[in-house]
């Protein structure tokens, strides 16, 4: 084993795998150290990738040359495009994967990268010289020199698992926690907090009466990766909807006195938007039922995940309550639900590159930054991995802005606002939702990734082909005039008013009930382009660009306006206490977060538009 690296990634979760792959694919000599190499990119909770906001992140990772989308596509057993009844900005892909295959495919992908080495060990100490990374030490007695380190320890730092009255150390159920790194970084002045998350029971699908549940079938197509040849050959499985009832709630309440959540034994803050079932029953006591989703865990197992029933109540209470749900009368539990508390580092201590402000060449990504979710972790991993490579090779930073992607929104939120509960991505966090849609991630990010050197030839060829088609199809639609006899049959079919004279096709397409796919499918020979076949994603992209063109332009203008604020820089040593016209809260927050520009200052919670005006008057001078 070589003893000197450009980048060492600590932790082989979703953040660590993307970070290691990105740095190695860019040409760095990378070592990925993880406590258990059979659990790379382990899905600690639901084996599902994507969803609202999260699906957009996966598309972005893919467009940047990452692997989460590819591995998801190879292991998909259920796929749905969410929010299709809403506008294009809200469409979000989500897939249920085979848990075991997901980890196996990730390992295969990592093993194919020549400059990436894997090692099963635990990192227990890091060396710094003049506050700059020099190397690290492992539990098995290894010492490695390295230029940069990416920490992605997930839920493992001082991890403590709770089930009812029982608590025991663990990074995940069945896995040991990691000690030492939190204490080490605390001694360097890092602010550390405690968070918690939970997971529901896993049950034996053979013990469920599916006749009493509502089936939710998978879409027949749909995928994440831009690469056409990547697709799942696995059989699609259905998900099912179930409901709790009053009797279930009464049974759960019997366990409240033994709940680590209500007794105060769990001190960490949990995700408000993803509460445990006991939290829901307690907080929404007027509700007589909560919806649950029973989701498959894999293609060759009967194990099922009960989404919405996360719990750390005693196992006998979890079991009894379950048997009172319709369809679950004879249920068998494979694994109990549990909660876990762990350390995280306040992300305001990071730069936008994910490098620590306190210790040079030390990067952080994933759950250690107070986020929750595989996608959030993987997105940060990508950015941290790229920047660790760039730093190790004295190259300039890679920063994604808020109008370039959800990854940019997330990182900017983390480093400027910090977190007081587990952070997850929502579409509502983005101000430029129409610019950063799931369908245009490749257009936004693949050219950037190509410049970095992360894009394969295959992808580039496919990318250029798709965008040539988009340009040509858009040109035709923007210039085409249609006669009534060419389109009225279709318009009638979709309940749209017939045209009486020649009209611009573009204008007709603006009608909400009219779709480009419909026109191409139904109006033979109306749009012909040298017999070119247009794939669904190309058609969707052109349609969105045309239908939403006015709104997209407005967002572009707004983002340019915001951009200008980014160029008004603030010296890192600036003493905000000098500006007496600032509110006290703004002064304190600005002194704490030390924004580098007016743009960053604007995004700090507690800094009002009036405070920004004060800054503009001062710095604008
Ligand atoms: C019980 C539970 C429930 C969850 N529920 C949800 C949920 O409902 N929704 C949701 O979005 N997310 C949930 N999550 C979170 C989700 O699993 C994480 O967000 C995601 O896995 C984070 O990825 P990561 O790469 O940051 O860390 P992890 O996936 O936790 O991976 C960390 C990796 O680091 C390794 N490691 C740790 N310390 C060391 C060390 N010192 N040396 C070497 N290797 C080390 C570990 O072995 C592990 O491989 C849950 C997690 C848990 C544990």
CA distance 155 to 367: 6
Q: Is residue 407 over pLDDT 70? A: yes
Residue 196: per-residue pLDDT: 93
pLDDT digits (tens, 9 = 90+) for 474-514: 998 998 899 999 999 999 999 999 999 999 999 999 999 99
CA distance 432 to 440: 13
Going by alpha carbons, the residue nearest to atom 20 of ligand 1 is 374
Query: Which range in 4-13, 460-469, 581-590 is most confidently predicted, on average pLDDT?
Result: 4-13
When mean pLDDT is compared across 85-99, 185-199, 235-249, 356-370, the lowest value belongs to: 85-99
Residue 1: per-residue pLDDT: 58
Pocket of ligand 1, beta carbon within 6 A? 10-16, 33-36, 39, 44-45, 122-123, 152-156, 171-172, 178, 181, 197-199, 274, 340, 366-367, 372-374, 377
What is the best residue among 31, 36, 41, 45 to mutate for testing ligand 1's pocket, by most ligand atoms within 8 Å of CB? 45
Q: Which residue has the tokens 């109008």?
A: 403
Strand boundaries in 60-101, DSSP class E: 76-82, 92-97
* Residue 80 tokens, joined: 């749905």
Counting Cα atoms < 13 Å in the Cβ hemisphere of 417 gives 20
Q: What is the mean predicted confidence (pLDDT) over 578-595?
A: 89
- Structural domains of the chain, with CATH: 4-153+342-451 (3.50.50.60), 198-340 (2.40.30.260), 458-551 (1.10.10.1800), 568-620 (1.10.150.570)
Q: Is residue 56 over pLDDT 90? A: yes
CA distance 159 to 353: 27
Q: How confident is the model at residue 323 (pLDDT cuts 50, 70, 90)?
A: very high
Residue 14: per-residue pLDDT: 98
Q: Is residue 534 over pLDDT 80? A: no
Length of the chain (residues): 621
Share of the chain above pLDDT 90, in %: 75
Q: Cα dihedral sign for 356, 360, 363, 368? A: negative
Q: Which residue has the tokens 């940069």?
A: 148
Q: How confident is the model at residue 621 (pLDDT cuts 50, 70, 90)?
A: low
- Strand 4-10 versus strand 30-34 pairing type: parallel
| Helix, strand or coil, per DSSP, at residue 18 | helix
- Partnered with residue 296 across adjacent β-strands are 304
CA distance 92 to 90: 6
Share of the chain above pLDDT 70, in %: 99
What is the best residue among 8, 13, 120 to mutate for testing ligand 1's pocket, by most ligand atoms within 8 Å of CB? 13
Q: Which residue has the tokens 């990925």?
A: 32
CA distance 47 to 293: 13
* Residues 6+ away with beta carbon under 8 Å from 530: none
Q: What is the mean predicted confidence (pLDDT) over 534-563?
A: 87
Q: Is residue 2 over pLDDT 80? A: no
CA distance 442 to 388: 23
Q: What is the mean predicted confidence (pLDDT) over 22-28?
A: 98
Q: Is residue 531 over pLDDT 70? A: no
Q: What is the mean predicted confidence (pLDDT) over 63-92?
A: 94
CA distance 542 to 509: 11
Q: What per-residue string of b and e applies to 520-559 under the rule 16 or more CB within 10 Å gives b? A: beebeebbeeeeeebeebbbbbbbbbbbbeeebeebeeeb
Q: What is the mean predicted confidence (pLDDT) over 456-469?
A: 93
Residue 259: per-residue pLDDT: 87
CA distance 244 to 322: 8
Using left for φ > 0, alpha for ψ between -120 and 50, and beta otherwise, residue 253 falls in alpha
Q: Is residue 183 over pLDDT 80? A: yes
Mean pLDDT score of the chain:
93
Residue 208: per-residue pLDDT: 97
Q: Is residue 79 over pLDDT 80? A: yes
CA distance 368 to 373: 11
Q: Is residue 376 over pLDDT 90? A: yes
């Amino acid at each position: 084993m070589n003893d000197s690296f450009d980048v060492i990634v600590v932790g082989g979760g979703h953040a660590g795998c993307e970070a290691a792959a990105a740095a190695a694919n860019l040409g760095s000599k990378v070592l990925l150290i993880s406590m258990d190499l059979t659990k790379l990119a382990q899905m600690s909770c639901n084996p599902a990738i994507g969803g609202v906001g999260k699906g957009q992140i996966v598309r972005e990772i893919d467009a940047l040359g990452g692997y989460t989308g590819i591995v998801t596509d190879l292991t998909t057993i259920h796929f749905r495009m969410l929010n299709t009844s809403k506008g294009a900005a809200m469409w979000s892909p989500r897939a249920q994967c085979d848990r075991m295959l997901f980890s196996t495919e990730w390992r295969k992908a990592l093993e194919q990268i020549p400059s990436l080495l894997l090692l099963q060990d635990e990192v227990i100490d890091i060396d710094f010289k003049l506050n700059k990374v020099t190397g690290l030490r492992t539990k098995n007695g290894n010492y490695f020199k390295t230029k940069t380190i990416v920490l992605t320890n997930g839920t493992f730092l001082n991890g403590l698992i709770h089930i009812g009255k029982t608590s025991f150390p663990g990074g995940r159920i069945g896995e040991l926690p990691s000690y030492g790194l939190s204490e080490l970084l605390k001694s360097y002045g890092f602010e550390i907090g405690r968070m918690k998350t939970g997971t529901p029971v896993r049950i034996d699908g053979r013990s469920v009466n599916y006749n009493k549940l509502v089936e939710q079938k998978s879409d027949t197509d749909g995928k994440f990766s831009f690469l056409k040849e990547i697709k799942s050959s696995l059989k699609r499985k259905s998900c099912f909807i179930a409901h709790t009832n009053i009797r279930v709630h009464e049974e759960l309440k019997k366990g409240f006195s033994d709940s680590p959540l209500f007794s105060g034994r769990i001190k960490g803050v949990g995700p408000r938007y993803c509460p445990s079932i006991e939290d829901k029953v307690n907080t929404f006591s007027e509700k007589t039922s909560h919806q649950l989703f029973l989701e498959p865990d894999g293609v060759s197992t009967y194990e099922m995940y009960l989404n919405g029933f996360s719990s750390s109540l005693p196992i006998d209470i979890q079991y009894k309550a379950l048997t009172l749900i319709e369809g679950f009368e004879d249920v068998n539990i494979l694994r109990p639900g549990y909660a876990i508390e762990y350390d995280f580092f306040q992300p305001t201590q990071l730069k936008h590159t994910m490098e620590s402000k306190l210790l040079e060449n030390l990067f952080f990504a994933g759950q250690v930054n107070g986020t929750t979710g595989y996608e959030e972790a993987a997105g940060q991993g990508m950015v941290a991995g790229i920047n660790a490579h760039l730093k190790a090779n004295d190259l300039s930073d890679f920063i994604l802005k808020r109008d370039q992607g959800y990854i940019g929104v997330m990182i900017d939120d983390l480093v400027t606002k910090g977190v007081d509960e587990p952070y997850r991505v929502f579409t509502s966090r983005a101000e430029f939702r129409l610019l950063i849609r799931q369908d245009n991630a490749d257009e936004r990010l693949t050219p950037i990734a190509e410049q970095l050197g992360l894009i394969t030839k295959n992808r580039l060829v496919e990318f250029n082909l798709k965008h040539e088609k988009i340009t040509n199809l858009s040109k035709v639609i923007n210039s085409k005039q249609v006669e009534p006899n060419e389109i009225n049959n279709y318009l009638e079919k979709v309940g749209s008013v017939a045209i009486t004279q020649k009209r611009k096709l573009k204008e007709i397409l603006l009608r909400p009930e009219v779709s480009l796919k419909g026109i191409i499918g139904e109006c033979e020979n109306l749009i012909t382009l040298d017999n070119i076949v247009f794939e669904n994603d190309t058609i969707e992209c052109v349609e969105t660009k045309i239908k939403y063109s006015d709104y997209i332009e407005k967002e572009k203008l707004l983002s340019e306006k915001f951009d200008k604020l980014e160029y008004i820089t603030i010296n890192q040593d600036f003493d905000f206490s000098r500006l007496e016209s600032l509110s006290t809260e703004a002064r304190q927050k600005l002194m704490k977060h030390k924004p580098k520009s007016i743009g960053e200052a604007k995004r700090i919670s507690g800094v009002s538009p009036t405070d920004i005006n004060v800054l503009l008057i001062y710095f604008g001078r």
